[in-house]
Structure formats: C-alpha cells, structure tokens
C-alpha cells in the first residue's frame, strides 16, 4: 500500500479534519510524505467529476462531500429537529459545558426529552459531574461538522 492511499483511508475513516501532524502520526510516516500525499489527493479528487473532495479547513484536511451536493444530503437525510430542541442545543453550545440542572432551569422540564433527542442524534454528550448530582452537557464533533462551527467563541448570545 502506498502512503497516499493510507492518507486517503485515514481521512475517510476519521471523518473529521486532521492536521498534517496528526495524519503523519497515525500513518507512521514523515510530515513531508503526508504533505506530498495531500497534494496528490487534492489533485486527484480535483480532476474527478465525483461527489467527494479533499478540503483544507480550519481544523486541517478532510474528505468531504462537495458543496454542490448539500441539497441532496438534505433531501436524503433531512435533519428534523424541532425549534425547542434547536434552542436547547444553542444554549448548550453557548455555555459549553453547561450543567443539566442549569439547562433545565433555563429551558424548562421539556429540556430532558430534548437532551435525550440531541444525544441520540449525536450532537450532545453527557457526563456525570464529580458530585454525582447532575451531568455536564457538551456539544460533540458531529455538532461542529454539521453546523460548520469550528470555534464556539465565535457564537454570540442575542
């Protein structure tokens, strides 16, 4: 197997942006080899008329669907999250992390069901607090990818 194919497999399997250094560490090869492999992959995918591309993002390089296919994704895999759940998700993202107790106080008792839905969809992670009384809620990598938000400090409460 050549390193370009290994790099392509890593980007596919990780399904998130990776830096050159992270790819080199996973592939077990020098950074220069990864840089050359990324250049080859960008050129290769650029010459194809396929649905995928290698893209450079703030977080690194990733294998992703070309932007012109986004409407197809929405048609095939629509994300049907209600307004209440979206508001709950926004509150979690803005506070990140936020205690479940604080969120329920802020959003009301319906937040319990919304948290469950958001966890099932993979947008929110819950972990027990040290005192064992409540949970910490944080957004996941899937949240960052789906909503194309890499830095939560850019979000502003309105």
Structural domain includes residue 107: yes
pLDDT value for 16: 82
- Retrieve residue 115's tokens: 């948290």
Quickly state the pLDDT bin for 158 (edges 50, 70, 90). very low
The pLDDT of residue 155 is 60
Give the highest mean pLDDT range of 41-45, 55-59, 91-95, 131-135. 41-45
**Whether residue 109 is found in the same domain as residue 62:** no
Domain membership of residue 145 as a residue range: 79-154
CA distance 97 to 20: 29
| 42 found inside a domain | yes
Are 62 and 118 contained in the same domain? no
Decide if pLDDT at 69 tops 80. yes
Cα end-to-end span (Å), the chain: 52
Q: What is the spatial distance between Cα 39 and Cα 51, in angstroms, rounded to a whole number? A: 18
- Residues 65 and 83 grouped into a single domain: no
* pLDDT average, residue stretch 50-73: 88
Assess if residue 74 is contained within a domain.
no
Specify the pLDDT at position 43.
96
Per-residue pLDDT of 125-150, as tens digits, reads 999 988 888 899 999 988 888 877 77
In this structure, the answer to whether residues 95 and 61 fall within a common structural domain is no
Distance in angstroms (rounded) separating the CA atoms of residues 145 and 79: 14
pLDDT value at position 149? Answer: 75
**Number of domains comprising the chain:** 2
One domain for residues 49 and 83: no
CATH number, domain of 55, equals 1.10.10.10
Q: Please report whether residue 14 resides in a domain.
A: yes
């Amino acid at each position: 197997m050549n390193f370009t194919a290994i790099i392509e497999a890593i980007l596919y399997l990780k399904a998130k942006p990776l830096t050159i250094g992270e790819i080199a560490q996973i592939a077990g090869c020098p950074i220069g080899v990864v840089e050359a492999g990324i250049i080859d992959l960008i050129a290769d995918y650029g010459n194809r008329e396929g649905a995928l591309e290698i893209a450079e993002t703030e977080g690194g390089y990733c294998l992703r669907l070309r932007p012109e296919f986004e409407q197809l994704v929405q048609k095939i895999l629509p994300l049907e999250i209600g307004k209440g759940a979206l508001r709950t998700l926004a509150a979690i993202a803005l506070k990140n992390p936020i205690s479940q107790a604080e969120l329920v106080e802020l959003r009301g008792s319906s937040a319990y069901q919304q948290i469950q839905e958001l966890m099932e969809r993979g947008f929110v992670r819950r972990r027990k607090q040290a005192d064992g009384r409540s949970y910490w809620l944080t957004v996941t990598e899937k949240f960052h990818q789906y909503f194309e938000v890499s830095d939560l400090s850019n979000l502003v409460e309105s």
